[in-house]
Amino acid sequence: MQLASCHCAELTRIIGGQFAAPAQFPHQVSLQLKGRHTCGGSLISENFIVTAAHCTIGQSPSQMRAIVGTNDLGAGNGQTLDIAQLIIHPQYNPQSQDFDMSLIRLATPAKLGAAVQTIQLAAADANYAADTLATISGFGAINQNLQLPNRLKYAQVQLWSRDFCNAQNIPGLTDRMVCAGHPSGQVSSCQGDSGGPLTVDGKLFGVVSWGFGCGAKGRPAMYTYVGALRSWIKQNANV
C-alpha cells in the first residue's frame, strides 16, 4: 500500500455531503496561496489557526492569506487576514505525514461575530467509540476530477476503531493519526480540504491529513489527532 503522495496543496475536498449554510461553521478557514484556495484550517483563537503541516511547509507567510467568515469564496463577504508566522510541528515527517500539524499566527486578530467564531479543542485524552459520527467541512474538490466548488461543504463520517485503524492494517499509521470515513467510500475529504476540521461534539478532534484518493470504498481518510498534540498547541498558541 502506498501513502497518498502528498503535495497536498493538491490534497483534500469534500465528496458527497451537503452545502453549508451561512455561519454554520464559523471556525472554518480557507487558506489561500497567491489568491487561490489551497487548504482548510480552523480558527482556535483570534490570533491562531490550526492546519496541516503539509499545507504550510515550504511556504512563505507573505504569499499566504486566510479567509474567515464566509461559506462562499466567490461572494467576497469574508475577512481576509494576513499571516505573520507559520509554526510547523518540529517532528513533522513529510514522507509519513506523522505530526502533520501547523499553527498559523495571524498578523491582525480575526474579528469575532456571528460568522466568525473560534472552535474549542478536544481534550488531550479525548477518545470516542467506534462509529461515533464526526463532521468534516471544507472548500475542497467535490469529485474525482478535482472540481472546486467555491462553496463550503460538510459531511458526516464515522470514526474507525483502533481494531481496524492500526499500523497492522494501515502501514504508516501512528498514534498521532485517527481514521474516519464512510463505509461506502461515497463521503470523504479530498483535494483542498487538507488542514481543515474534523469535529466531534462541536470540538476540534482531527485535522484533515492524508488518504487513499477521494472516497475510495472501504478506505478511511487519516486525520491528525488533536489530542496527541494538545500540549504542543498550548505551548505555541497558548490555547
Question: What residues are labeled active site?
Answer: 54, 100, 194
Residue type, 111: K
How long a stretch of residues is the chain? 239
Contact present, 213 and 12 (Cβ < 8 Å)? no
If we measure between CA atoms, which residue out of 37, 25, 42, 66 comes closest to residue 148? 37
Beta pairing partners, 18 = 154
Contact present, 204 and 26 (Cβ < 8 Å)? no
Contact present, 172 and 216 (Cβ < 8 Å)? no
Contact present, 140 and 190 (Cβ < 8 Å)? yes
Residue 7 to residue 58: CA distance in whole angstroms = 11
Torsion angles phi and psi, residue 106, rounded to 5: -80, 150
If we measure between CA atoms, which residue out of 60, 74, 138 comes closest to residue 104? 60
If we measure between CA atoms, which residue out of 223, 177, 217 comes closest to residue 16? 217
Cβ count near 232 (within 10 Å): 16
Contact present, 7 and 184 (Cβ < 8 Å)? no
Contact present, 171 and 2 (Cβ < 8 Å)? no
